[in-house]
Structure 1
Amino acid sequence: MKIHNLLCGLGITLLVSTADAKTIEFGGGANMNKLVAAADVLKNSEPFTGSEITLSGEVVKVCKKRGCWMTLKVDNGEEINVKVRDGDMVFPMSAIGKRAYATGVLEQFELDIEKTKRYLAHRAHENGEAFDASKVTEGMSLVRLKPDAVTILEMQ
């Protein structure tokens, strides 16, 4: 709980201390009162699945076709996907390299090997990357955030 409070305070301080920064907001902006450590969520997602939380990280990828998802790199170096229904929000490519806060419901999916291949092929296609389905040997767990509000800090 102390870590949670510390992270919330740090996030709020970061937002307040960037008075010279512009922000891009979707859905009224992220709810900083629900900020949790993304590393903790990725370590054990079960307690957070189905709950509305706020995660933060550096935007490292954005959907090139529709801007319907972005990938956040969190403090421990892991990544989490933030996905909206096409057209609900359009994340700009210019968000790459920026700090983002996303508030939404955490989802978790267990994909069998065939669904894993389709998912990874789709992601590769969206990114214009090659994909070799023969290298996929097992299913995967997918944890992502379905946001209803996002704040992206645009530094001047």
Structure 2
Amino acid sequence: MRYFRLLIICILVLNSCKKKSDETLKSTEEVEEVNYVSFGKSIIADDAIAAKSMAQHYKSMPVGDSINSKMTAKVTDVCQAKGCWMTLDLEDGSEVMVKFKDYGFFVPKDIKGKEVIINGKAFVNEVPVDEQRHYAEDAGKSKEEIALIIEPKKTFSFEADGVLVVQ
């Protein structure tokens, strides 16, 4: 009788473990794999901070200061001439201007609205009028809009050495 009770307890314990592992297996299978296209230096998607968190870092940085960072955000605009820069939404009403290290790579011109992960240096910059006009021209702005640019502008900037574009 004693062995019979021990056998039943062992079967119940093993059976309960099996159910938990089946549930774990199902939840692991439900995780969707995200595919990326890589540009520049090879980077991994791990440890990227959200755009909203990055916006807080930018607000506390003085002009000229920089930090190494990896962030994820949505593309709001891309250079339509070559893909040599892009702007990203920081989810707080501001944007970050992204250029690519040593002009070493470009991104596709059709990634507006896609999620990206960028790695590199984040910094606050003061952009002169002529550079702002150049970017406005690359973005396809009208001559009237370009003419309205008349003073330097404090911007959030990022020099990326690697970019992952979500497919």
**Shared topology, TM-score over 0.5?**
yes
Kept in 2, the 8 Å contact 1:67–1:92? The answer is yes
Does residue 29 in structure 1 map to residue 56 in structure 2? Answer: no
Match of 1:128 in 2: 140
Does residue 43 in structure 1 map to residue 62 in structure 2? Answer: no
Give runs of aligned pairs for residues 11-90 of structure 1, distance below 5 A.
17-19=31-33, 21-26=34-39, 27-30=41-44, 32-33=46-47, 35=49, 37-46=53-62, 49-85=65-101, 87-90=103-106
Cα-Cα RMSD: 2.7
TM-score by length of 1: 0.71
- The alpha-carbon deviation at position 134 of structure 1 amounts to 5.3
Matches of 2:32 and 2:92 in 1, distance apart?
23
- The alpha-carbon deviation at position 152 of structure 1 amounts to 1.3
Kept in 2, the 8 Å contact 1:30–1:103? The answer is no
- The alpha-carbon deviation at position 66 of structure 1 amounts to 1.4
Task: Find the structure with the greater CA-based Rg.
Answer: 2
Question: Between the two proteins, what is the percent identity of the paired residues?
Answer: 21
Matches of 2:42 and 2:79 in 1, distance apart?
22
Q: CA 1:49–1:34 in 2, change beyond 3 Å: closer, same or farther?
A: farther
Matches of 2:124 and 2:104 in 1, distance apart?
20
Q: Secondary structure at the match of 1:151?
A: strand
Q: Secondary structure at the match of 1:89?
A: coil
Matches of 1:129 and 1:86 in 2, distance apart?
26
Give runs of aligned pairs for residues 71-150 of structure 1, distance below 5 A.
71-85=87-101, 87-111=103-127, 115-116=128-129, 118-132=130-144, 135-150=148-163
Once the two structures are superposed, what CA deviation does each residue of 1:40-89 show, in whole Å capped at 9, x if it has no partner?
A: 13322339932211122111111111111111112223211110157512
Q: What amino acid sits opposite 2:134 in the alignment?
A: H
Q: What amino acid sits opposite 2:118 in the alignment?
A: A
